A and B are shown apart, each in its own frame.
Chain A
Amino acid sequence: DADVTQTPRNRITKTGKRIMLECSQTKGHDRMYWYRQDPGLGLRLIYYSFDVKDINKGEISDGYSVSRQAQAKFSLSLESAIPNQTALYFCATSAGLAFDNEQFFGPGTRLTVL
């Protein structure tokens, strides 16, 4: 879905390296999220942001940090990558309405940490 874009789409890196994954959206949504997806574990929330000044930890935030540079941009950083951070990473957005059930996902970034 071109409304939510993620860069890079694939990345291979080495243990200890700093990595940044970027997410941009043109949907005009206030809420943005970072998830990781692992086989058998589903989608797990890393961080979320309800607006530019609001950053919150999800269930698996250790080893990750985020930056909400603008309403449309939300970046995820791995300060010192480790092999168990190898996963598929998704950015998502939602409108923040009263019954806010639909999240719109980007195409994902496949990250491999050697």
Chain B
Amino acid sequence: QKEVEQDPGPLSVPEGAIVSLNCTYSNSAFQYFMWYRQYSRKGPELLMYTYSSGNKEDGRFTAQVDKSSKYISLFIRDSQPSDSATYLCAMRVNTGGFKTIFGAGTRLFVKA
């Protein structure tokens, strides 16, 4: 069983839709939760990160962590064609290690 599971998609939505991207994980020691965005032919770039449980908002993006369910989400409001990319969740433990575990990534297409 993978430590981090992420549906690869693809997910296709119309412009303006609310997008929900999700990951589940098995290691209860994970404390930092990150979302990276990767455009075609580019390296991933950090979009948001949260520590422990709760929500974090940044413009049209909201990251949500539910540690009791071992489930994290990224919501994109008013999605734009420029949001079309692969979104990778990533997570790591707080202390004693730096190793970041990445999900497989979900491909998102936002149609104009």
Chain A residues proximal to chain B, CB less than 8 Å? 1, 4, 31, 39-45, 58, 90, 92, 94, 99-108
Contacts and interface: CB of A to CB of B under 8 A. Distances in A.
Contact of A43 (B32, B92, B102): B102
B98 A100 contact: yes
Given A45-B99, A100-B98, A107 B41 contact: yes
B102 A42 contact: yes
A92 B43 contact: yes
Chain A at the B interface: mostly helix, strand, loop or mixed?
A: loop
Most buried by A among B44, B99, B105: B44
B6 interface: yes
B61 interface: no
A91 B103 CA distance: 17
A105 B43 contact: yes
B104 A90 contact: no
B42 interface: yes
A99 B33 CA distance: 12
A99 B32 CA distance: 9
B45 A105 contact: yes
Contact of A42 (B42, B49, B99, B105): B105
Nearest to A106: B43
30 contacts: A1-B43, A1-B45, A40-B104, A41-B104, A42-B6, A42-B103, A43-B44, A43-B88, A44-B102, A58-B99, A90-B43, A90-B44, A92-B43, A94-B98, A99-B32, A99-B51, A100-B98, A101-B92, A102-B46, A103-B44, A103-B46, A103-B100, A104-B45, A105-B43, A105-B44, A106-B43, A107-B41, A107-B42, A108-B41, A108-B43
A42 B3 CA distance: 12
Contacts of A1: 43, 45
A42 B46 contact: no
Contacts of A90: 43-44
Interface in B83-102: 88, 92, 98-100, 102
Interface string B2-44: 0010101000000000000000000000001010000001111
